């Protein structure tokens, strides 16, 4: 395919998969249960954080966290008791994300929401920046603080060349604005042009098959290589192609 054919093909596939049907089987269904901005952010961030492995299993584990929080995440992180946290400590949540990690995240949310109206405040992109590389690191510093904790491994660092797939996916949910009803677009002060594709097995393999990237690893350098390619197709809304690449990967249409 030449450039125009590839763009047309990816536009068509993004259009095909960026529908409300996508929500049914995806972890994005978790924050879709809420209307309050802070509930959406917390539920979304937790669901994104555990988004590795089988999607059904991810959704079940996210439901477990919501149940623990009485299905009112914002109220819970502001008003939990020490007894609440103690009861979480030994729980199994999702693979290596355990009760200790969950309670640590709750404490960090409590501190951050006492100082900020929204998580958006911690992800601002500066004018001189071209993507979320530095914003993610600034967020990590704010969220994790300096004290070493086992939970730090659950928030990836692009500085360490991680693709930061789960944070990038969360950012797409919060920042990307369209009228399809899948992404929320509730963060009004961050431009979606800075978004990247969440790089996983599906999006990585399809990107290579289509010649969008040449690197074999799914790391931050590949995220940036893919940025260059997809922004040529649509510099104002590059992350819409996540739907095309992920959808093509899951359905194995190109195999």
Q: Mind listing the pLDDT tens digit for each residue in 14-62? A: 999 999 988 888 999 999 999 999 999 999 999 999 998 788 899 999 9
50-86 pLDDT, tens per residue? 998 788 899 999 999 999 999 999 999 999 999 988 8
Select the more confidently predicted residue: 36 or 97: 36
In the three-class reduction of DSSP (H, G, I as helix; E, B as strand; rest coil), residue 94 is classed as strand
Q: What is the mean pLDDT of the chain?
A: 93
Give the whole-angstrom CA distance, residue 45 versus residue 184. Answer: 13
| Each residue's pLDDT tens digit, 125-170 | 999 999 999 999 999 988 887 666 677 778 889 999 999 999 999 9
Q: What is the pLDDT of residues 207-228, one digit of tens each?
A: 999 999 999 999 999 999 999 9
Rg from Cα positions in the chain: 18
Residues whose CB is less than 8 angstroms from the CB of residue 206 and which lie 6 or more positions away in sequence, other chains included: 245, 246, 248, 249, 254
């Amino acid at each position: 395919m030449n450039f125009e054919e590839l763009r047309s093909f990816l536009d068509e596939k993004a259009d095909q998969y960026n529908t409300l049907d996508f929500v049914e089987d995806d972890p994005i269904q978790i924050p879709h249960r809420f209307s309050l901005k802070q509930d959406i952010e917390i539920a979304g961030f937790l669901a994104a954080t555990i988004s590795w492995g089988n999607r059904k299993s991810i959704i079940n584990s996210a439901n477990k966290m919501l149940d623990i929080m009485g299905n009112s995440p914002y109220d819970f992180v502001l008003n939990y008791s020490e007894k609440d946290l103690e009861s979480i400590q030994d729980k199994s949540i999702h693979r290596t994300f355990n009760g200790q990690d969950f309670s640590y995240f709750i404490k960090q949310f409590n501190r951050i929401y006492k100082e900020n109206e929204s998580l958006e405040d911690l992800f601002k992109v500066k004018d001189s920046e071209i993507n979320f590389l530095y914003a993610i690191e600034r967020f990590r510093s704010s969220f994790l603080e300096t004290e070493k904790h086992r939970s730090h491994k659950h928030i990836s660092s692009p500085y360490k060349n991680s693709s930061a797939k789960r944070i990038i996916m969360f950012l797409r949910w919060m920042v990307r604005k369209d009228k399809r009803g899948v992404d929320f677009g509730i963060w009004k002060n961050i431009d979606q042009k800075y978004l990247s594709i969440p790089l996983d097995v599906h999006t990585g393999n399809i990107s290579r098959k289509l010649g969008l990237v040449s690197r074999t690893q799914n790391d931050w350098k590949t995220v940036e290589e893919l940025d260059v390619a997809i922004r040529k197709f649509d510099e104002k809304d590059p992350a819409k192609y996540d739907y095309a690449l992920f959808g093509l990967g899951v359905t194995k249409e190109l195999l």
